[in-house]
């Protein structure tokens, strides 16, 4: 850890992360981040590799990438490309050799050209995000290593209150992908205005007159030709050898979904962490004061409620930055993602896109179907479901939910009733 930290400091990357190490004590009960057995999509894969049920295939161009995506059911259309030197394998990354990221609901995978490892971030209801590396050297058996320290230097930063989570940023890179530090950087999620997104990222897609910071370096177009467009780019061939990647895309809609999903996972898992920490504290208070089990102070209830509220608001797209014009991707991600459902009897789905004034047609995140949400602590889930029900039925008319029309609330309520098996009884009519 010390060594890694020193190396990162030399490169000047983690100055802004440094203060953040371990806001909460992740390594004691009830969380035990380092020692607890993970419950994510990588655990059964490791088991199946060990017992010979699955063999990951290695190829000279991308190592284990293609095979890993296939086994985990991660679509290649989700590919997005980042060229700023902002992550672990920085020496491999630059405008000619961007890092590729792929994702589905449960796992995100990072690939660098000639990288030593594939980087994996997997969703786990109790541990939030669990990190792995997969050695890219061809081996008899593909070797995953769970990483409990190195990745958290950046992925456990103060932006997520010290909890392990996803990280997407918009930065100002120079011609080599190095940050121009004086320009600062921004964490990106669905509340980030369109014009502030994607500094350091390639972006393929159309967005009309809406500009963004993708496909450029500080002060000019990436191509070096001032007249080249940086928005509405659909072909990345002028910038680097796209044939070195699984697909020629860095899909605009995939980027928006990744940003929404990353922060939704962060908020939902943070709610889970905070609820479990509050309950553990209550339990020791009860013990210390010889109170009956199950005794609950007002303070603890308040903490539980406020931890869940932040997730509820995000799930309901409060503060989503509006689109001023329609947007469109290039890779087929939009179609593939929307086709996955689940659908209600009227054919409606939370994965249906809008992409004209906002991201999705129905304003409740599809993350409610994920293993992260389904595995919430019962008290966290109970609270989140209660609040969703209050808002969707219109009982809660507070200002922060004013963006939800009565018909949208009703539609979401109906979709959930038909597609979500674990709703509390009072949700059914
Ligand atoms: C130096 C800081 C740093 C370290 C250390 C780091 N990352 Fe990241 N990571 C980032 C940043 C910043 C991003 C956002 C994309 C970008 O700028 O490249 C990111 C994005 C990712 C993503 C895609 C988006 C997401 O958050 O899911 C994955 C997957 C990932 N990292 C995995 C890992 C793994 C696994 C490790 C440890 C082996 C690791 N990272 C270590 C900075 C870091």
pLDDT of residue 344: 98
pLDDT band at 164 (very low <50, low <70, confident <90, very high): very high
Report, as an integer, the average pLDDT of 94-115: 97
CA distances from 106 to 124, 187, 279 (A): 8, 21, 26
pLDDT of residue 285: 93
Report, as an integer, the average pLDDT of 234-239: 95
- With a 6 A CB cut-off, is 8 part of the ligand 1 pocket? yes
Average pLDDT over the chain, rounded to an integer:
92
pLDDT of residue 184: 83
| Residue matched to tokens 């000279």 | 60
Whether 7 shows a pLDDT value over 70: the answer reads no
Least confident of 178-192, 213-227, 275-289: 213-227
**Alpha-carbon span 336 to 194, nearest angstrom:** 23
**Alpha-carbon span 136 to 151, nearest angstrom:** 18
**Number of CB atoms found within 10 A of residue 295's CB:** 12
With the most atoms of ligand 1 within 8 angstroms of its CB, the residue from 87, 147, 188 to mutate is 87
Q: Which two tokens stand for residue 182?
A: 């004086």
Q: Is 409 in contact with 391 (CB distance < 8 Å)?
A: yes
**Alpha-carbon span 212 to 216, nearest angstrom:** 9
Residue 153 alpha carbon, nearest atom of ligand 1 = 5
Residue 8 alpha carbon, nearest atom of ligand 1 = 1
Q: Which two tokens stand for residue 396?
A: 């809660």
Rg (CA), the chain: 22
pLDDT of residue 234: 96
CA angle, 92 as apex, 87 and 94 as ends, to 5°?
80
pLDDT of residue 386: 98
Q: Which two tokens stand for residue 68?
A: 């890993």
Q: Which two tokens stand for residue 414?
A: 């109906």
Report, as an integer, the average pLDDT of 42-48: 98
CA dihedral for 224, 225, 229, 235, sign (positive or negative) = negative
Least confident of 78-92, 225-239, 361-375: 225-239
- With a 6 A CB cut-off, is 259 part of the ligand 1 pocket? no
Name the percent of the chain lying above pLDDT 70.
94
Residue 48 burial (C-beta neighbours within 10 Å; 0-12, 13-18, 19+): middle
**Alpha-carbon span 276 to 273, nearest angstrom:** 5
Least confident of 7-11, 144-148, 394-398: 7-11
Q: Which two tokens stand for residue 319?
A: 């503060």
Report, as an integer, the average pLDDT of 101-115: 97
Report, as an integer, the average pLDDT of 242-249: 98
**Alpha-carbon span 299 to 258, nearest angstrom:** 35
**Alpha-carbon span 19 to 17, nearest angstrom:** 6
pLDDT, tens digit, for every residue of 333-374? 999 999 999 999 999 999 999 999 999 999 999 999 999 999
pLDDT of residue 18: 42
Q: Which two tokens stand for residue 42?
A: 């990588």
**Alpha-carbon span 247 to 97, nearest angstrom:** 14
Q: Which two tokens stand for residue 375?
A: 């595995």
CA distances from 251 to 111, 138, 195, 319 (A): 16, 30, 17, 23
- With a 6 A CB cut-off, is 166 part of the ligand 1 pocket? yes
Whether 290 shows a pLDDT value over 50: the answer reads yes
pLDDT of residue 117: 97
- With a 6 A CB cut-off, is 122 part of the ligand 1 pocket? no
Q: Name the nearest CA neighbour of 426 among 387, 391, 389, 373.
A: 389
Report, as an integer, the average pLDDT of 122-136: 97
Least confident of 249-258, 274-283, 290-299: 290-299
pLDDT of residue 227: 77
Residue 86 burial (C-beta neighbours within 10 Å; 0-12, 13-18, 19+): buried
Q: Is 300 in contact with 282 (CB distance < 8 Å)?
A: yes
Q: Is 250 in contact with 235 (CB distance < 8 Å)?
A: no
**Alpha-carbon span 177 to 179, nearest angstrom:** 6
With the most atoms of ligand 1 within 8 angstroms of its CB, the residue from 119, 136, 150, 202 to mutate is 119
pLDDT of residue 24: 61
**Number of CB atoms found within 10 A of residue 365's CB:** 26
Residue bearing the bigger pLDDT, 253 or 292: 253
pLDDT of residue 182: 83
Q: Name the nearest CA neighbour of 303 among 285, 335, 336, 281.
A: 281
Contact residues for 212 (Cβ-Cβ < 8 A; gap 6+): 194, 195, 196, 197, 198, 203, 230, 231
- With a 6 A CB cut-off, is 169 part of the ligand 1 pocket? yes
pLDDT of residue 14: 46
pLDDT of residue 97: 97
**Alpha-carbon span 8 to 88, nearest angstrom:** 9
Residue 232 backbone class (left: φ over 0; alpha: ψ -120 to 50; beta: rest)? left
pLDDT of residue 3: 45
Least confident of 7-11, 30-34, 116-120, 406-410: 7-11
* Total number of residues shown for the chain: 429
Distance 88 CA to ligand 1 centre (A): 6
């Amino acid at each position: 850890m010390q060594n890694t930290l020193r190396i990162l400091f030399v490169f000047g990357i983690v100055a802004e992360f440094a203060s953040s190490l371990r806001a909460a004590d992740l390594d004691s009960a009830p969380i035990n981040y380092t020692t607890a057995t993970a419950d994510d999509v990588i655990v059964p894969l490791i088991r199946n590799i060990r017992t010979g049920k699955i063999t990951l295939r290695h190829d000279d161009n991308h190592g284990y990438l293609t095979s890993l995506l296939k086994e985990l059911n991660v679509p290649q259309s989700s590919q997005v490309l980042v060229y700023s030197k902002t992550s672990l394998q920085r020496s491999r990354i630059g405008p000619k050799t961007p890092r590729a990221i792929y994702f589905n609901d449960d796992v995100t995978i990072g690939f660098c050209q000639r990288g030593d490892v594939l980087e994996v971030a997997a969703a786990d209801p109790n541990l939030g995000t669990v990190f792995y590396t997969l050695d890219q050297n061809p081996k008899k058996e593909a070797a995953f290593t769970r990483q409990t320290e190195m990745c958290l230097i950046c992925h456990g930063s103060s932006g997520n209150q010290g909890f392990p989570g996803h990280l997407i940023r918009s930065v100002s890179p120079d011609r080599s992908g190095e940050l121009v530090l004086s320009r600062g950087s921004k964490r990106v999620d669905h509340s980030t205005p369109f014009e502030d997104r994607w500094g350091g990222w390639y972006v393929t897609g159309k967005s009309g007159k809406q500009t963004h910071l993708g496909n450029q370096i500080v002060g000019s177009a990436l191509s070096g030709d001032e007249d080249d467009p940086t928005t509405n780019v659909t072909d990345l061939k002028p910038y680097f050898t796209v044939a070195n990647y699984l697909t020629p895309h860095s899909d605009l809609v995939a980027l928006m979904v990744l940003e929404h999903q990353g922060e939704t996972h962060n908020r939902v898992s943070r709610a889970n962490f905070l609820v479990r920490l509050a309950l553990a504290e209550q339990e020791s208070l009860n013990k210390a004061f010889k109170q009956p089990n199950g005794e609950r102070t007002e303070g603890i209830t308040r903490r539980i409620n406020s931890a869940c509220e932040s997730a509820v608001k995000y799930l309901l797209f409060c503060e989503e930055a509006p689109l001023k014009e329609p947007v469109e991707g290039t890779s087929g991600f939009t179609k593939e993602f929307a086709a996955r459902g689940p659908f209600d009897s009227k054919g409606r789905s939370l994965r249906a896109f809008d992409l004209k004034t906002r991201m999705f047609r129905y304003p409740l995140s599809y993350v409610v179907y994920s293993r992260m949400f389904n595995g919430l602590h019962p008290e966290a889930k109970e609270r989140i479901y209660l609040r969703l029900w209050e808002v969707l039925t219109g009982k809660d008319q507070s200002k922060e939910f004013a963006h939800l029309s009565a018909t949208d609330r009703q539609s979401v309520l109906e979709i959930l009733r038909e597609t979500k098996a674990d709703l509390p009884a009072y949700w059914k009519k």
